Amino acid sequence: MTTERPLIARVDLAKALDELVADDGRLASALALCEAWEPGYLGHLITRAEILAAHDAELDTPGLHARAIAIVQRVLRDPDPRQVAERSGAAASPAAIAALRQMLGSRAYFHEATDELERRGLRRAP
């Protein structure tokens, strides 16, 4: 196993998403709807952010935390879950929003606890 960690790890992206949702009730509601409609939506969102983090040299934001926030914000632009939810006319209940926030916090905690197992940091077998 290598001790070299990717510049931006999954845990950084999960924490960034958790932080963005904590500060934006409209985003929290929209993501609750998207996850309810498409189970695994949030995981797919983190995967897209991870791919962007690994391949996009245009993100010149200094600092790991600021870069993680910028990457997640960029992934949230296309498609923007707030617009998707708005067009649907549906609204997540306060209980659904609270559950989403708890799920994102738990996901960030999980990725923090398993950071050393992230496959990008493991040595490949020949």
Q: pLDDT digits over 37-63, tens only?
A: 999 999 999 999 999 988 865 556 678
Query: What distance in Å separates the CA atoms of residue 88 and residue 13, rounded to the nearest whole number?
Result: 27
pLDDT digits (tens, 9 = 90+) for 87-118: 999 999 999 999 999 999 999 999 999 988 87
Say if CB 85 and CB 30 are below 8 A apart. yes
Tokens standing for residue 16: 């960034």
Share of the chain above pLDDT 90, in %: 65
Residue 89, judged by CB atoms within 10 A of its CB (0-12, 13-18, 19+), counts as exposed
Q: Which helix (H) or strand (E) holds 49?
A: helix 41-55
Say if CB 63 and CB 124 are below 8 A apart. no
Amino acid 7: pLDDT: 76
Amino acid 56: pLDDT: 66
Amino acid 106: pLDDT: 95
C-alpha of 96 from chain center:
18
pTM, two decimals, is: 0.83
Amino acid 59: pLDDT: 58
